[in-house]
Structure 1
């Protein structure tokens, strides 16, 4: 155990307010909730907690300053200053009877609960490193629970709220965010499994379901629309499906198969509040064995060289 003054970065003459301020800073920087994948931060947090427990207790601080106990709270000389070995094998003040002192059991050291109010103020609850015999007892949150949610394509475009049934049986409604895509994870705070330090979270992974007409291309939506030959040649007004309802679409006369049209702002919503587009590609459907069409084609001559330069 390091010197608690060094751990907190304060002088030996530091006031209670200075000690509290130093601990507050270290606790915020190294709290496990914000450093889940940093074991060194967890160690610094425990060390700061132990140092604060020592220096925020006037009696323990005095004992440490006088050299009666070490940084770990153990008596440096178990028979100095009125300390004696108690019946449990630890050390208590006042001889064999024991009493409130540095030791609370065989070779152990129980930290006081003086930091609980500060942790409640900082983090809304007890320290994740509570007290216990023989050193630290970790009060960890319950485990997170993973869920997968398949959102229908049209509802993903519309950002329709979804309902999720949790393992506990509770059903909750979640709002879909802009920028939604397959693989995006949403964290539902406190909806995981219970634990000594509070419940974990529910982690919902979004999967956007397929659609029989629409496909996604980045933030755009693609649709292939069939056209009759007469509609392509003469032009027409046709019903065009979109994820937010049908619209009337004007096909220009002389439209060729494969031509693409862009409908602005009909795609997925982006994080910056703009939207992608809907890209409509038309394909002309020729009816098989149509006598009138065959007769027309046999007498129709198109003299254009549309495949000029088409050689490999």
Structure 2
């Protein structure tokens, strides 16, 4: 079976730059790596084919010979300079091609995070989450809040190094400070975390007695948090560097304050607006009048009820809602009327209501309109 054109194998043009060739090979190697294609018997052969193509095209002299003579440049006699340098492609050390992109691919293929060369001696601390509940009044005005956060802080005895009294960590003898070891398995190389130093690249022969070599200790810290006016449930506040201390002198993580605003017995919140449901008597709704309502800042406002108001009627108090979190003004407060039906009536009250009902035939337009529609509906069903 004739060999495929090397440019076609990698999916690049003949004028492709070395960076474009390397990028194309990286994509093919990731796509065809046997570890990702256990159920594809052709993947291994295609993977080797891509390695063979890259072994030639990454080398300027081999590439020039291939451009001039094609595959014949490596089949005895022709392209002597190329043959002298590398022999037939695919017969030499495959790792010389794959190692060019191994570090980039390793993290993706093996499931690691950023498999570059060298271990990370200092590890960044973890981010922390703290859930904080505030009242609606506190969310309205904003406040300073002190929170106690249990976390890992840098060890004061060894100053985060993990080593006892003046001694220093030493390079791991197994991985020579790389944090990883490589092993040849068949035609490809496998890289694993060093078992001696667990990827740190260093070992501590004389660990700190305070932190046991970790470079950090558990402690509860008190922090002052500024809660801006207008926060709502789900608002997140980031405190940079206030998270868990890093291992062996690494940078600290961040602390994230997640806010939850408690429900209020009088007000319901929708964004920057507040709603207050106010019960009124039938007489007050029918005759109209003034009522006094509370506001979120602890004040009072007088609201005029129009005569003949129905349940659900809303009246707006401008600027009496919640402040907008990033400036831009204040929301409004809406008063919603709930006309209340009286209960536990006396005989005299019942008598008065019956008389009132007889006299109010033309005073209930909504009721009259509804029953007219009902009559029209029934007449239509009969026809």
Q: State whether structure 2 residue 208 is matched by structure 1 residue 148.
A: no
Q: State whether structure 2 residue 285 is matched by structure 1 residue 302.
A: no
State how far apart, in whole Å, the 1-side matches of 2:291 and 2:143 are: 28
Contact 1:231 1:251 (C-alpha < 8 Å) held by counterparts: no
1:74 paired residue number: none
Q: TM-score, normalised by structure 1?
A: 0.52
Any stretches of 5+ residues in structure 2 without a counterpart? 1-17, 20-116, 151-218, 378-383
Q: Taking CA–CA contacts closer than 8 Å with sequence separation of 6 or more, which of the two structures ends up with the larger relative contact order? A: 2
Q: TM-score, normalised by structure 2?
A: 0.43
State how far apart, in whole Å, the 1-side matches of 2:143 and 2:262 are: 14
The 5 A counterparts of 1:129-278 are 135-167=118-150, 168-195=219-246, 196-254=249-307, 255-270=309-324, 271-278=326-333
Counterparts in 2 of 1:246 and 1:295: CA distance versus 1, 3 Å: farther
Contact 2:295 2:301 (C-alpha < 8 Å) held by counterparts: no
State how far apart, in whole Å, the 2-side matches of 1:193 and 1:145 are: 7
Q: 2:335 aligns with which of 275, 280, 284?
A: 280
State how far apart, in whole Å, the 2-side matches of 1:229 and 1:299 are: 15
Deviation at 1:136, TM superposition (A): 4.7
User: 1:174-231 deviations in whole A, cap 9, x for unaligned?
Assistant: 2223552211211112211111222211111111111122111222111111113343
Counterparts in 2 of 1:162 and 1:228: CA distance versus 1, 3 Å: farther
State how far apart, in whole Å, the 1-side matches of 2:303 and 2:266 are: 19
User: 1:136-173 deviations in whole A, cap 9, x for unaligned?
Assistant: 53433211111111111221122233332211433223
State how far apart, in whole Å, the 2-side matches of 1:248 and 1:179 are: 21
State the number of aligned residues: 182
Contact 2:141 2:229 (C-alpha < 8 Å) held by counterparts: no
User: 1:203-262 deviations in whole A, cap 9, x for unaligned?
Assistant: 111111111221112221111111133433344433312211131323325233221111
Contact 1:158 1:243 (C-alpha < 8 Å) held by counterparts: no
Moved more, 269-278 or 285-294: 285-294
SS of aligned partner of 1:161: strand
User: 1:36-72 deviations in whole A, cap 9, x for unaligned?
Assistant: xxxxxxxxxxxxxxxxxxxxxxxxxxxxxxxxxxxxx
SS of aligned partner of 2:220: coil
RMSD: 2.8
Contact 2:278 2:336 (C-alpha < 8 Å) held by counterparts: yes
Any stretches of 5+ residues in structure 1 without a counterpart? 1-5, 8-133
Q: Whose helix proportion is higher, 1 or 2?
A: 2
Contact 2:140 2:229 (C-alpha < 8 Å) held by counterparts: no
Contact 1:191 1:201 (C-alpha < 8 Å) held by counterparts: yes
